[in-house]
């Protein structure tokens, strides 16, 4: 029956090894993989030792048993450190391997000298074969190594449980089981077998080894769930909308995922380790690689195929410590691009709608201002049309000033001064009709009242435009209303500003305003000829008007005279 016991345990260890092989994942710990190899070897040696027919056979089987048990102690310890995420430097690992190899080498001396076994004999009682031995000093080294390695493993387990909250407590508990079982089986196996009426003289270690393998299978089954980088990569790689392509630094093809080959069928024609050529691969892929190699910021590109849009991300292919080549990560970005296109279309339509609404509001606003100015003009003693004509006069002057180099006017300023021109006399709304509509000259007292229209106009414009978003237009409109009666020599009103202190927009408005007053008919005068008006304007340069505006007025004069010849003044 004991023979059947050893056979069954050997068969079970082989079955467990095969289960591990079929369930193997490349990220499984190498020490555990070696354990699944060493246990069947150790169990088979136990069977051979039990069925041996002489001392020579028994000693050979015993030596093979030490091969398994000695290195199993090391593999178990290193596996514990690895799964507990405790890094042992290379020198420490090398030392542990040296100690283990020395213990194995000592074990191979049995039967040759008395250092490992002081004495050894073969016993066959009732068909039960055993080796009767007396341990020597080197075997004590083996025991010390086993105890030290056990304490190291249990210490790592305890440390992880207490200090490392990033290590699964479930794993820590499972790791402790094979450690404890192996220790008990190693030091108290035969005694337990006798206590619980097992077969006499059988080794309990083969059973303990198989139980330990079962525990490690449970650990390995769940290990990949806790290896987040690998889990994420594997999950992403399985998605139908994702692909990978790899190349080395010499643009040699290394491989690609199946999804990538669906997206780029020409990948199927490539040969691994062969440089890619434009004729054998999409020119876009080669271009993307070269662009990234030249400038790492060029790491994104879009590829359209049929009705799908793919985002191609280029990065380095790394082995963990060094960059070894290039990696292309391809994802189906169709929905995102459709959303962006929809959003862009919505934003465009919204901008157009806002622009239309804004233009409509601005138009209403401008019409309101123009209506107010027209209402004021209807109370004045002019023949009408003064607002429109002065606005056109400002436009003609501004067009010439823009062609020159003296004043550098931007488009916003030009647009705003022409738009503000109709508001220059808005303050007359506050002047009494008795004065505003007087057919003759004003008395000094009346003229003082009349002059208040400039400051009053600025106040009214400020109140109307104080909440506008166009701050530049508000300032220009206020200045035009406030200062268009100021004179270059400082003799104007309402504040007697002189020279460059007069805003440019007010200086331009002054020329257009005076010119219209000269060539237009009023109830108290006839209109002047263009020659007479020109003489007054030219004489006023440097006194009434800014002399720097003279060349632009001269250039604009033909257009002004043509314009006033065609309109009703």
Matching fold, domains 2-227 and 239-332: no
Q: Within 13 Å and on the Cβ side, how many CA atoms surround 50?
A: 21
Question: In this predicted model, which residue has the larger pLDDT, 214 or 438?
Answer: 214
Quickly tell me which residue has 């030249």 as its tokens.
294
Angle, helices 90-107 vs 55-83, to 10°: value is 170
- Determine the Cα–Cα distance for residues 217 and 16; give it in Å rounded to an integer: 8
Quickly tell me which residue has 């994942």 as its tokens.
25
Of 44-48, 176-180, 500-504, the range with the highest mean pLDDT is 500-504
Quickly tell me which residue has 């150790």 as its tokens.
42
Quickly tell me which residue has 């004021």 as its tokens.
376
Nearest CA-CA partner of 418 in 460, 373, 387, 461: 387
Q: What is the mean pLDDT of the chain?
A: 83
Q: Are 375 and 429 in contact (CB under 8 A)?
A: yes
At 236 the pLDDT is 53
At 370 the pLDDT is 66
pLDDT digits (tens, 9 = 90+) for 469-482: 788 988 999 999 99
- Determine the Cα–Cα distance for residues 200 and 128; give it in Å rounded to an integer: 9
* Residue 421 DSSP symbol: G
> Which tokens is 479 given?
């200045």
Nearest CA-CA partner of 386 in 348, 425, 357, 356: 425
Asked if pLDDT for residue 523 goes beyond 70, the answer is no
Q: Are 234 and 227 in contact (CB under 8 A)?
A: no
Question: In this predicted model, which residue has the larger pLDDT, 322 or 398?
Answer: 398
Q: Render 443-488 in DSSP notation, one character per residue.
A: PHHHHHHHHHHHHHHHHHHHHHHTT-S-HHHHHHHHHHHHHTT--T
The domain ranges of the chain are 2-227, 239-332, 352-566
At 125 the pLDDT is 62
* Cβ neighbours around 320 below 10 Å, total: 5
* 543-to-94, 405, 496, 540, 549 alpha-carbon distances in Å: 101, 22, 13, 5, 12
* 524-to-439, 447, 521 alpha-carbon distances in Å: 5, 15, 8
**In the structure, what pLDDT confidence band is assigned to residue 540 with cuts at 50, 70 and 90?**
very high
Of 269-278, 355-364, 502-511, the range with the highest mean pLDDT is 502-511
2-227: CATH, from 1.20.1740, 2.60.120, 1.20.1070, 1.10.10: 1.20.1070
Q: Are 376 and 386 in contact (CB under 8 A)?
A: no
The size of the chain, in residues, is 569
> Which tokens is 543 given?
């006194």
pLDDT digits (tens, 9 = 90+) for 3-40: 888 899 999 999 999 998 888 766 678 888 999 999 99
Asked if pLDDT for residue 429 goes beyond 70, the answer is yes
pLDDT digits (tens, 9 = 90+) for 84-117: 888 889 899 999 999 999 999 998 988 888 888 8
pLDDT digits (tens, 9 = 90+) for 292-313: 989 999 999 888 888 888 899 9
Instruction: Tell me the backbone φ, ψ of residue 123, rounded to 5 degrees.
Output: -130, 135
- Determine the Cα–Cα distance for residues 159 and 113; give it in Å rounded to an integer: 42
352-566: CATH, from 3.60.20.10, 2.40.50.140, 1.10.3210.10, 3.40.920.10: 1.10.3210.10
The CATH fold assigned to 239-332 is: Beta-Lactamase (3.30.450)
Question: In this predicted model, which residue has the larger pLDDT, 351 or 246?
Answer: 246
pTM of the predicted model over 0.75: no
Helix (H) or strand (E) holding 161: helix 137-163
Asked if pLDDT for residue 227 goes beyond 60, the answer is no
- Determine the Cα–Cα distance for residues 381 and 524; give it in Å rounded to an integer: 8
Question: In this predicted model, which residue has the larger pLDDT, 219 or 224?
Answer: 219
pLDDT digits (tens, 9 = 90+) for 360-384: 656 666 666 666 666 666 556 554 5
């Amino acid at each position: 029956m004991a023979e059947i016991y050893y056979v069954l345990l050997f068969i079970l260890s082989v079955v467990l090894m095969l289960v591990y092989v079929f369930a193997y994942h490349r990220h499984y710990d190498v020490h555990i993989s070696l354990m699944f190899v060493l246990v069947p070897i150790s169990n088979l040696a136990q069977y051979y030792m039990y069925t041996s027919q002489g001392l020579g056979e028994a000693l050979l089987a015993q030596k093979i048993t030490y091969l398994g048990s000695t290195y199993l102690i090391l593999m178990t310890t290193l596996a514990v450190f690895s799964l507990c995420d405790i890094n042992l430097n290379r020198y420490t690992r090398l030392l542990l391997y040296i100690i283990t190899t020395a213990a194995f080498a000592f074990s191979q001396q049995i039967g040759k000298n008395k250092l490992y076994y002081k004495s050894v004999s073969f016993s066959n009682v009732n068909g039960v074969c055993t080796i009767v031995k007396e341990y020597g000093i080197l075997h004590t080294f083996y025991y010390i190594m086993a105890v030290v390695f056990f304490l190291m493993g249990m210490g790592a387990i305890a440390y992880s449980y207490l200090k490392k909250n990033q290590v699964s407590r479930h794993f820590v508990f499972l790791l402790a089981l094979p450690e404890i079982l192996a220790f008990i089986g190693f030091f108290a196996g035969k005694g337990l077998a006798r206590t619980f009426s097992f077969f006499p003289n059988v080794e309990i270690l083969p059973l303990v080894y198989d139980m330990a393998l079962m525990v490690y299978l449970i650990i390995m089954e769940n290990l990949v769930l806790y290896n987040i980088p690998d889990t994420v990569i594997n999950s992403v790689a399985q998605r139908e909308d994702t692909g990978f392509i790899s190349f080395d630094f010499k643009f040699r093809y290394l491989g690609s995922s199946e999804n990538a080959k669906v997206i780029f069928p020409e990948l199927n024609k490539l040969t691994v380790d062969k440089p890619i050529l434009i004729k054998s691969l999409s020119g876009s892929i080669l271009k993307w690689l070269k662009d990234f190699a030249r400038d790492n910021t060029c790491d994104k590109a879009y590829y359209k195929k049929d009705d799908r849009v793919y985002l191609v991300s280029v990065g380095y292919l790394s082995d963990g410590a060094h960059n070894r080549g290039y990696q292309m990560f391809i994802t189906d970005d169709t929905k995102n691009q459709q959303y962006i296109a929809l959003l862009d279309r919505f934003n465009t339509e919204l901008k157009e709608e806002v622009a239309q609404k804004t233009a409509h509001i601005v138009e209403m606003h401008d019409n309101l201002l123009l209506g107010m100015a027209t209402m004021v003009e209807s109370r004045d003693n002019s023949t009408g049309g003064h607002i429109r004509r002065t606005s056109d006069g400002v436009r003609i002057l501004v067009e010439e000033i823009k062609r020159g180099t003296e004043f550098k006017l931007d488009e916003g300023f030009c647009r705003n001064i022409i738009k503000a021109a109709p508001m220059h006399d808005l303050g007359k709304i506050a002047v009494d009709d008795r004065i505003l509509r007087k057919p003759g000259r004003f008395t000094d007292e009346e003229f003082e009242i009349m002059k208040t229209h400039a400051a009053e106009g600025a106040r009214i414009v400020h109140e109307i435009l104080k909440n506008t978003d166009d701050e530049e237009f508000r300032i220009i409109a206020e200045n035009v209303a406030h200062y268009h009666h100021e004179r270059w020599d400082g003799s104007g009103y309402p504040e007697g500003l002189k020279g460059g202190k007069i805003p440019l927009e007010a200086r331009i408005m002054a020329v257009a305003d005076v010119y219209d007053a000269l060539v237009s008919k009023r109830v108290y005068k006839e209109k002047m000829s263009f020659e007479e008006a020109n003489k007054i304007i030219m004489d006023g340069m440097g006194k009434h008007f800014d002399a720097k505006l003279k060349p632009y007025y001269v250039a604009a004069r033909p257009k002004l005279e043509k314009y006033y010849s065609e309109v009703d003044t």
